[in-house]
Chain A
Amino acid sequence: QKEVEQNSGPLSVPEGAIASLNCTYSDRVSQSFFWYRQYSGKSPELIMSIYSNGDKEDGRFTAQLNKASQYVSLLIRDSQPSDSATYLCAVISSGSARQLTFGSGTQLTVLP
């Protein structure tokens, strides 16, 4: 069973702080990793994709991938109340025909 696990939270941070979201995956040969944001009642929206070890930055978001530890994280700097949402970690595993495996999601609340 190929699995993706996230700390389910909920996670609360004050406005302006750094929010750290974590995810581990079981399939060692996974190659593609994604973070999606989902607001309540809406469909997921792509935030970041990462494919190589290291950090990838896009504005206030930084994704970090460590394939040896099978770990991917998302940092949100200068968190805003509008960042309050559920964040879904997703992985394309080997032999899955581009099928995403989702974690259960981490609910983030940014307190004004």
Chain B
Amino acid sequence: GAVVSQHPSWVICKSGTSVKIECRSLDFQATTMFWYRQFPKQSLMLMATSNEGSKATYEQGVEKDKFLINHASLTLSTLTVTSAHPEDSSFYICSAPTEGRAKNIQYFGAGTRLSVL
């Protein structure tokens, strides 16, 4: 299947700092990517839809000024958690749907575990 690369896999940071997470589609172009957050023992919660060349669409309750999304190319979307606090500690996962013949199958990155001290 298609490959989505996510980096870093694990980050520890101090409260108040910003963290950038990258999501790349390695063998296909993705005009749309999705960012999820998952807390322990809970399902994935969609945070935002990243659109190449335009503004991201955020889900209700997600602060767009805190979670900055940039989708500057057809293979790269970034999520920046600004001024991170301990309550932002979570597992962040990106996904990208293949287009055309694969009927919208989404492939997930390996995830980024963020721990804010």
CB <8 Å contact, B44 and A98: no
* Interface contact tally, CB-CB below 8 A: 48
Whether the pair A43, B93 counts as a contact (CB closer than 8 A) is: yes
* Number of interface residues, chain B, beta carbon within 8 A: 23
Q: Please report the C-alpha to C-alpha distance between residue A36 and residue B1 in the assembled complex, in whole angstroms.
A: 14
**A positions within 8 Å CB-CB of B:** 32, 34, 36, 41-46, 49, 51, 88, 92, 97-100, 102-105
Binding site for A on B (CB under 8 A): 1, 6, 32, 34, 42-44, 46, 49, 91, 93, 95, 97, 103-111, 113
Contact A99 B43 (CB under 8 A): no
Name B108's contact: one of A41, A44, A97 (CB within 8 Å): A44
- CB A43 to nearest CB in B, in angstroms, measures 4
Known: A88-B44, A102-B43. A43 touches B104 (CB 8 A): no
